[in-house]
Amino acid sequence: MSEQASFTLRNRNPDVLTCIANLSNDEVFTPPELANQMLDSLTQAWAEDNNGANLWEDRNVKFLDPCTKSGVFLREITTRLTIGLKTKIPNLEERVEHILSKQVFGIGITKLTSLLARRSVYCSKNADGEHSIAKSLKSRDGKIWYERIDHTWNGTKCIFCGSQKSILDRDLRLENYAYGFIHTNDIKSRLNEIFGEEMQFDVIIGNPPYQMKGGAGGTSASSIYQLFVEQAKQLEPKYLSMVIPSRWLAGGRGLDEFRREMLNSNNLKRLIDYPVSKEVFPNVEVKGGICFFLWAGNHNDKCEVTVIRGEESSTSTRILDEFDVFVRDPRAVGILRKVLSLKETSITEILTADTPFGIATNFDGFHGKKNNGDIKIYYVKKGKRSVSYLARDLVKKNTNLIDKWKVYVPKAGSDGGQKIPDSVLGKPWLSSPPSVATQTFIAFFVENENEANSINSYYKTKFFRFIVSLRKITQDALRQTYYWVPMQNWNKEWTDEDLYLKYKLTDEEIKYVESIIRPMDVFVERDND
């Protein structure tokens, strides 16, 4: 027994869970290094809140990973407890037995991951197997539960996760991704049933699934990680820590309410943000970056925010809900305050909605030769910008804008700051009337060519794109992304020097903006019609 216990708990090189974490896969496995970083943060918080007490010396603390994949969190927790409880429970076999039966609990997200997690923690795919190091566990699952459950369909969608019935109402031999932790209205009672006793977890920690196929009518994926966070809060733990995509900081589809609740609660004690996801998951790109947080039930104060990019890191103590969208870099906050203090009208007043004329990206009802009464249509086909023509009466939305001068801008810009300096936005396209565009573009609309040229010059400044970048966390640049950009007078060509002077940026602030925003070609792209 002691030999088996030491085998599972000692460091091994190479670590199989590190190897798994480096695989490119739809399921993002947690590297042991990240798991331990999160546990270190938890250790520090526990000591701060408990008169310097060592979390790992407490034999009564209960841990839950509600979305276990490789079992890395449970393994590392077990390792720390095994060391920390040495004086409290001197006998190794008794100590490990106590930890695995009384302190460490998990819920597998699939059958495969549950088996992998049990291998990591118990040294056996079955907790009650011959080679399991947990001899008192009398079931296959032990304390790492998994059971296939069904989605609860309401018409075409699951009421719990929103997945499409047409996609995930599947053969029993296939995973249906109905995650047990979130597919219930009463999580407390459900966990009591699962583990056979009344459970109160002190710490909930994990890396939940990030998205579910079937969002947007089955054509894309919708975020799901927020459901795990919300469900975990229902269990009222002392501490909750999860690694999730950073795009929640800016909200978006299905995330606005989650963002408001998280930023307004004052329960976030620490937030560690990686704008470049590959610094955490080397072979998996997560648009907008990755973060992990430490939520504390007894915390009601500012949050310690750390932003890590390569070798650079900055830490500040912040009020998270100062703005409706969280500004990641504290160096940007002072600049934004200066801009917003003038209370100028937002440029979104002259910016179309995200589908400006109701014409889908894949629309092909246009032709290359202009007929009498036709109008121009701007679109992208096979990655190339093009202009063709269509009948005016085919346009049913925003017809009042057809005869405006417009500066078209692509909705997809850069990669959300994965590389610095960043262009932030795609190049504009100046258009004389009459014209429309597919939903690939949104458009600034004005009365004449001079105003269009002025907007075009403003758009290309580093200042403009810097302000946009504060709300743009992925490649998408929708209308609301421009909300903080102030309106200007459209009677001149704007330069960065003009804007730095107007908003009273310091030399240090100017240097910061210049360092992170890439110059944009001043050439004006326009049609030849």
* DSSP per-residue codes, 420-432: SSB--SPPPEEEP
pLDDT of residue 251: 75
10-residue mean pLDDT profile of the chain (529 residues): values are 44 53 61 96 97 97 96 96 97 96 95 92 90 90 93 94 90 88 95 92 96 56 91 97 92 83 93 92 86 96 93 91 90 95 97 93 90 93 91 94 96 75 92 95 96 96 96 87 97 97 98 94 64
Coil, strand or helix at 150: coil
Show the beta-strand stretches assigned E in 259-330: 268-274, 290-296, 303-309, 312-318
Strand 104-108 versus strand 144-145 pairing type: parallel
Spatial separation of the C-alpha atoms in residues 139 and 4, rounded to whole Å: 20
For residue 195 the two structure tokens come to 């583990």
pLDDT of residue 416: 65
**CA dihedral over 457, 459, 460, 466, signed as positive or negative:** positive
The class level of CATH for 341-516 reads: alpha beta
The pTM assigned to this predicted structure is 0.87
pLDDT of residue 218: 44
Q: What is the DSSP letter of 334?
A: H
Rg (CA), the chain: 27
Contacts for 486-489: CB closer than 8 Å, 24+ residues apart = 486/339, 486/342, 486/344, 486/345, 486/346, 486/347, 487/344, 487/345, 487/346, 487/347, 487/349, 487/350, 488/454, 488/458, 489/454
pLDDT of residue 424: 93
pLDDT of residue 1: 43
Extents of the domains making up the chain: 2-238, 341-516
Q: What is the DSSP letter of 346?
A: B
